[in-house]
Amino acid sequence: GGTLGCHRPPSPVHAYTLKGGWGYKEHGWHAAEGTYVFEPPGETHTLIVDDDCDEMVALFHVTGSLIYVDPETGDVTGYDDVFTKLEKAKAWYKDCGLGEDYVQQFIR
């Protein structure tokens, strides 16, 4: 199991589950292997991976940012977008010894 903190995407998100299963704490549905999910913009939710799932693999097509929110108050606590993800990737490749420029091969 695992979680992705409570977040609200301001743009549509499309997801396809390749392995394992997951859902949203706030909803009763379940995404199993082979499941397509559409997330409407502006919906706040907390992704939870099945407790008995050793590995969950899903492709999420995020067309904007993720805004992280406090689940109790709805107050914004942070965000991720393409630029914050690139900075995190650069730091990870640098820490692994490949150098932060390694990420450039993935950018057009």
Q: Are 44 and 26 in contact (CB under 8 A)?
A: yes
Q: d(Cα 24, Cα 37) in Å, to the nearest integer?
A: 11
Mean pLDDT of 28-41: 95
Confidence at residue 2, expressed as pLDDT on a 0 to 100 scale: 84
pTM as predicted: 0.81
| One-letter identity of residue 99 | G
Confidence at residue 17, expressed as pLDDT on a 0 to 100 scale: 97
Please state whether 82 falls in left (phi above 0), alpha (psi between -120 and 50) or beta: alpha
Contacts of 48 (CB under 8 A, 6+ apart): 1, 2, 3, 22, 23, 24, 25
Q: What is the CATH number of the domain that holds 54?
A: 2.60.120.10
Examine the pLDDT at 60 and tell me if it is beyond 90: yes
Mean pLDDT of 35-51: 94
| Banded model confidence at residue 25, pLDDT cuts 50, 70, 90 | very high
Confidence at residue 93, expressed as pLDDT on a 0 to 100 scale: 97
**Residue 63 lies inside a defined structural domain of this protein:** yes
* Domain span including residue 29: 2-81
